[in-house]
Structure 1
Amino acid sequence: MKRIVTATVINQSGVLNRITGLMTKRQFNIESITVGHTETEGVSKMTFVVNVDGDGKIEQLIKQLNKQIDVLKVSDITDQAIVVRELALIKVISNAQIRSEISGIIEPFRASIIDVSRESITVQVTGDSEKIEAIIDLLRPYGIKEMVRTGITAFPRGSQKSVTDIKQFSILN
């Protein structure tokens, strides 16, 4: 089962190594990691997607991470209302004749062409993993020369109302 775990940490040398080392030692499979600065100077946020077997193991991971000296806060945000984004750069084999065709394919995804050469174009797309997979599937027949993905970055939405609450509210108003 995939879980999304965030860790707010003091931005110091070796923090990422210690945390991933702990996960490796405890045999957690890390599917993706993103790390970046937060609104607070000297503090970073890490987002991990991990595969775990059962709720007990995720609780164990959170407890172990919270024991780390550089860790300020750890949360499993999987079951919360969250904002999730991933970035992909996809270099597609392309000539002048099919560029407009590819442009038409990527437009509904709000993707953009960020580089053009004689033999290829590079597409940038952001969104959830399903959106990224969908555009990759559509571009694959043209020939994907190269591709990189960031892994997901996520945090809880401003409001934690459930989808049912939101639907009921919109029906009443």
Structure 2
Amino acid sequence: MTEEGYESFDDYVRRRSVALQRFAYLVTHHREDALDCVQDALVGLLPKWDAVVRSGHVDAYVNRSIVNASVSRWRKTGRVTPVADPVADWGRERTPDPTHEVDDADQAWRLCRDLPPLQRAAVVLRFYHDLPFAEIALALGTTEATARSHVFRALAALRKSLGGER
């Protein structure tokens, strides 16, 4: 049994994979990218398993790897979000958009997906995982002040996106 309570790397993967995939999805907002980020993080963890376990911060290491993988993918693809071909909709009759009835959680999710990856990860770690800024900094590989800055800037961007709304 390791210091963190995991018998082995396999035990860690069995016990934490669902939570890691959930975290990666919240960071990437794309199912396949999330799975790839988790896989990349775990592939990187395996050869360093003993050293990371000794450090006592396995989850922070893996979360940081997931965020790094997400940022790398984001940089490669840019901020491009695929949408339906607008030409295909020409000539169709328009109906009122029912999205005004979407609940607050969905609205928050849509707003968060437009944040840069590090800010999105900081918000997820702070408000979804309820982590203190010191642990967010560890997971993101930054200082505590930078982690606070990511959360502050993300909240400012979210407030600006909401404009005069609630």
Same fold (TM over 0.5): no
Greater helix fraction, Structure 1 or Structure 2: 2
The structure showing larger relative contact order (alpha-carbon pairs under 8 Å, at least 6 residues apart) is: 1
Greater strand fraction, Structure 1 or Structure 2: 1
Query: So what's the TM-score if we normalise by structure 2?
Result: 0.27
Which structure: larger Rg?
1
Query: So what's the TM-score if we normalise by structure 1?
Result: 0.26
